[in-house]
Amino acid sequence: MRAYFDHAATSPMNPEVLAAYSSELQRVGNPSSLHAEGQAARMRMETAREDLARTIGAATPSEVVFTSGGTEADNLAVKGLWWARNADRSRPRLLVSTIEHSAVTDTAEWLQTQGAEVVWVPVDADGRLDLAAFGAALREDPERTALASVMSANNEIGTLQPIPEIVALAHSVGVPVHTDAVQALGQVPLDFAALGVDAMSLSAHKIGGPVGTGALVISRDLTPVPVLHGGGQERKIRSGTLDVAGAVAFARAAELACADLPEKAAVRAALRDRLIAGIESSVPDAVLSGPRGAGRLPGNVHFVFPGCEGDALLFGLDVAGFATSVGSACSAGVARPSHVLIACGRDEDTARSVQRFSLGPTTTAADVDALLAALPGIVDRARSAGMVSSTPAWMNGDT
């Protein structure tokens, strides 16, 4: 019997969503076609857009632009808005937090080759944006700043960012804000209008929807330069044949994930805290990454296990029947330390000695208890492998 602790990478499709998705896949009709089948498909597409807009607090359905996933949504927001606002080369600056998902950091680094002046805004030891540094960076040259991008919740260590405060600082000097909310959707309340952001990236497969479907929720006041060119099906800023089945399934998944969210989040947070307490009791030198309590996602547990190589732990847990992660699935297999832990002030050995346990709707107390029973022995075996032998300096108080 296996237990799945990698919901942050992808979460099992909800049976109701699968039923809606399968049903839609059996229908025919391109939503851009003028015949009856095409127009029926268009109606289902727009109903899905309305449903998703209502669930995530968009002011109008037209603010929802469907994409192929969170990565495309991030690229469209960051590249598209930077290009649009820097068309006359008067706004080359781009503010980005140091713990963003690679879909944002890699995009920002690529934009540097196009003339962008990227300002990397630091975070504290828990991964929370340094608001003073952010405000200073904004005030330094607001007229030349195109965009700020700060994620709502970190995908590795689960830190929640103070998005309303970030928006207030940016808007006070006329800078729009994009937030990658892929990990936040379905875990914490998410209201596009209430947050005040100008653009927000979402993904379906993190909340029990299909892989290959996402959305960029973007204010009608903004028109990013397209990343994909073609038929301009989505507000002329995103081209491609409209994926009706994906949109229908995404809207249904979001509705189900966000229904009774406070109660669901409380249950998940209780399991999270049970796992944290159990790890700290059974592996006393393990160190929790990120904040405790309300400052982190209810489904995120991330630990440093001194003396253990993260991959050795992962493989040991996998053999024992537990699916976990060393960090972002998008960088799995890449032999480099977590940039998130490095940004939080950890050294490279520490940033490799980690394990993420992400809980979801299928996680049970029995799963948590089984993991806690198996973990100490797996940690001991990973340490015996001797892949990371030294104790990081930061844990000895040397830095």
* One domain for residues 63 and 99: yes
pLDDT of res. 387 = 46
Same domain? 36 vs 165 = yes
pLDDT of residue 386: 64
Question: Does residue 225 belong to any structural domain of this protein?
Answer: yes
pLDDT at 333: 52
Q: For residue 244, what pLDDT is reported?
A: 98
Is residue 352 within 8 A of residue 309, CB to CB? The reply is yes
Count of structural domains, the chain? 2
Phi, then psi, of 362 in degrees rounded to 5: -95, -5
Q: Which of 206, 225, 258 is the last residue of a domain?
A: 258
In a domain, 395, yes or no: no
- Residue 167 structural domain: 15-258
The one catalytic residue among 258, 308, 330, 344: 330
Token output for 22 = 């399968």
- Tell me if residue 174 falls in helix, strand or coil: coil
Kindly state whether residues 80 and 120 are assigned to the same domain. yes
Query: For 263-294, what is each residue's pLDDT tens digit?
Result: 999 999 999 999 999 999 999 999 999 999 99
Percentage of residues in the chain having pLDDT higher than 70: 94
Over 60: is that where the pLDDT of 397 sits? no
Same domain? For 205 and 351 the reply is no
For the CA atoms of 304, 308, 310, 311, the dihedral, rounded to the nearest 10 degrees, stands at -170
CATH of the domain at 201: 3.40.640.10
Is there a single domain that holds both residue 222 and residue 268? no
Residue 124: pLDDT band with limits 50, 70, 90:
very high
CA–CA distance, 185 with 257 (Å, rounded to integer) = 8
In eight-state DSSP terms, residue 167 is: H
Average the pLDDT over 347-351 and give the result.
Answer: 94
Is pLDDT of 394 > 70?
no
% of the chain residues with pLDDT over 90: 93
The distance of Cα 187 from the centroid of its chain, to the nearest Å, equals 11
Q: Any residues with CB less than 8 A from the CB of 167 and at least 6 apart, and which?
A: 177, 195, 196, 197
Neighbour-count burial of 385, counting CB atoms closer than 10 A to its CB (0-12 exposed, 13-18 middle, 19+ buried): middle
The predicted structure's pLDDT at residue 334: 52
234 in the same domain as 268: no
Based on the fold, state whether residues 337 and 221 are members of the same structural domain.
no
In a domain, 377, yes or no: yes
Look at residues 91, 45, 79, 52 and name the one whose alpha carbon lies nearest to residue 178. 79
Average pLDDT, the chain: 94
Whether residue 390 has pLDDT greater than 80: no
Q: Using the structure block, give the residue that is written with the tokens 């952001």.
A: 197
Helix, strand, coil abundance in the chain, percent, nearest 5: 45, 15, 40
**pLDDT reported for residue 327:** 74
Query: Which residues 6+ apart lie within 8 Å of 302 measured at CB?
Result: 156, 157, 158, 288, 289, 290, 354, 355, 356, 357
Least trusted range by pLDDT, from 90-94, 194-198, 328-332, 356-360: 328-332
Task: Determine, yes or no, domain membership for 397.
Answer: no
Q: What is the pLDDT of residue 1?
A: 84
Q: Residue 62's Cα: distance from chain center in Å? A: 23
Find the range with the poorest average confidence among 121-130, 198-207, 334-343, 363-372. 334-343
Q: Is residue 53 part of a domain?
A: yes
Question: Token pair of 90, please?
Answer: 């008067």
CATH number of the domain that 294 lies in? 3.90.1150.10
For the chain, counts of helices (H) and of strands (E)? 13, 12
Domain final residue pick, 223, 258, 293: 258
Q: Please tell me whether residues 167 and 271 are part of one structural domain.
A: no
CB within 8 Å of 117: residues ≥ 6 apart: 92, 93, 94, 144
pLDDT of 203 above 80: yes
Q: With beta carbons less than 8 A apart as the criterion, state whether 87 and 115 touch.
A: no
224 and 352 fall within a common domain: no
Question: In the sheet that 199-203 helps form, which strands lie side by side, from edge to edge?
Answer: 64-67, 214-218, 199-203, 177-180, 145-149, 93-97, 117-121
Query: Do residues 252 and 44 lie in contact, with contact meaning Cβ atoms separated by under 8 Å?
Result: no
Asked about 330 being catalytic, the answer comes back as yes
Let me know if residue 398 belongs to a domain: no
Count CB neighbours of 389 within 10 A: 11
HSE-CB of 258 using CA atoms within 13 angstroms: 21
| Torsion 79-203-313-355 (CA) sign | positive
Question: Does the pLDDT of residue 118 top 50, yes or no?
Answer: yes
User: Which residues, other chains included, contact 397 with Cβ-Cβ below 8 Å and sequence gap of 6+?
Assistant: none
Q: What is the pLDDT of residue 393?
A: 42
Q: 49 and 184 share a domain?
A: yes
Strands (E), the chain: 3-4, 64-67, 93-97, 117-121, 145-149, 177-180, 199-203, 214-218, 287-288, 300-304, 322-323, 354-358
Domain boundary among 241, 258, 275: 258
Which element (helix H / strand E) includes 258?
A: helix 244-258
Residue type, 271: L
Structure-token pair, residue 119: 């300002």
Residue 277 lies in a domain: yes
**Is the domain of 28 the same as that of 165?**
yes
Task: Please give the full DSSP string across 261-300, using - where no structure is assigned.
Answer: HHHHHHHHHHHHHHHHHHHHHHSTT-EE-S--GGGB-TTE
Q: Please tell me the distance from the alpha carbon of residue 178 to that of residue 169, in angstroms, as a whole number.
A: 13
Answer yes or no: is 396 within a domain.
Answer: no
User: Does 334 share its domain with 240?
Assistant: no
Q: Rounded to an integer, what distance in angstroms lies between the CA atom of residue 50 and that of residue 103?
A: 27
Task: Report the candidate in 294, 275, 199, 244 with the shortest Cα–Cα distance to residue 45.
Answer: 244
Q: Note the pLDDT of residue 389.
A: 40
